[in-house]
Copies of this chain bind each other. A is one copy, B any other.
Amino acid sequence: MPKIPKSAAKTFHLHIENSSKRPALYQLQAITMAAAVKRHRELSKRLKVTIGWDGDILEDTIKTADFMINSNPPRERLRERAPHLKWIQTTGAGIDGLMPLDWLPTDITLTNNSGAHGDKAEESCVMALLMLQSRLPEIIANQQTKKWEQIFTRPIAGKTAVIVGFGDLGSAAGRAAHKLGLKVIAVTRSGKAARPADLACKATRIDSVLPKADFVIVTTPLTADTRNLLSRERLDLMKPTAGLINIGRSPVVDYVALCEKLDKGELAGAVLDVHGPEPLPPDSPMWTTRNVIVTPHVSCDDPRYMDFLCDSWFDNFARKLAGKPLANQVDRKLGY
């Protein structure tokens, strides 16, 4: 962590804005922030912190706020209402809900919480891969109808995982697949990917690798380029024995086509953690689609999430004081 210049004296105002409608995991409670302040005692001396809920003190606090932690920042006339604001931190990793960023003054830095999801995402991918390999969706369906059918399956090693996106979540998925002995093909914008990818392929050439996949793991943020990337035509390129895991964003995959293919047995199974809309409504066909396991957007989230967020925020605050560029800056054009 960069050292804090001792001579500096200015105190900064951080406003934390919460929504009572979001799960507690995504709320930055006073008690969590107080614990973080204790962990970062020296840095905290340079901070004044306010915490608001559902906009109760927002209008007043943003008048003086230098920094804001807020996943749904005020967009209208932001510079006018928040004349000192220099930096907004979101609590999530995906910022598709804030796009396009035309409301964001160019001198305000936007950072996301990328990096807090890796450990949990890796475990979730290990579990989802093994569930698909073991044909657990069928075994669970059999349990529901009290049917005893011995479905025997081999160990997973030697199979191939195609991982769409290879950022924080994609790398976690890659580590999961690699640890299980799978061959890992990463699909990225640049066509490059670090280990544990065995191969990498440009997103524009995804058609060439989908037929090789025993498992496709979707981990990309939602951008103009990734929307409907796994279209019906591309799902058709997958083997009927292949399975799909989505821990990225739902509009990246044509879920209507996916459900049709699963119900027809043209794909073997899916573990889907992201949905549209969320909460998934009771009348969604997804709940009952054949061989689908629905998990409620929990695969990459850890109850210690806000502790991680606070720690990485303080690390960034130290960088800011030292005049260094912030980590986790969102690229305005790419949208992640």
Contact = CB atoms under 8 A, between A and B. Distances in A.
Count identical subunits in the complex.
2
A263 to B, nearest CB: 16
Interface string A116-148: 000110011011001101101001101110111
A106 interface: no
Interface stretch (A204-212, A219-227, A243-251, A300-308): A300-308
Interface in A259-315: 278-280, 282, 284, 287-288, 293-298, 301-304
A19 to B, nearest CB: 14
A150 B296 contact: yes
A296 B25 contact: no
A23 interface: yes
Interface of A is mostly: loop
A151 interface: yes
Contacts of A127: 126-127, 130-131, 134, 136
A126 B127 CA distance: 8
B123 A296 contact: no
A303 B135 CA distance: 14
A155 interface: yes
A39 interface: no
Interface centre among A143, A278, A284 (most CB of B within 10 A): A143
Given A140-B140, A144-B144, A293-B140, A298 B152 contact: yes
A308 B186 CA distance: 34
A149 interface: yes
Contacts of A296: 139, 142, 148-151
A126 B25 CA distance: 26
Contacts of A154: 120, 302-304
A153 interface: yes
Nearest to A120: B155
A280 B139 CA distance: 13
Interface string A175-190: 0000110000000000
Contacts of A284: 146
A187 B261 CA distance: 47
B302 A150 contact: no
Nearest to A22: B150
A156 interface: yes
Given A119-B157, A151-B296, 11 more contacts: A23-B150, A126-B126, A126-B130, A127-B136, A134-B295, A136-B295, A146-B284, A146-B288, A152-B301, A153-B298, A154-B304
11 contacts: A119-B155, A127-B136, A134-B295, A140-B140, A142-B296, A147-B282, A148-B278, A148-B280, A150-B296, A154-B304, A179-B179
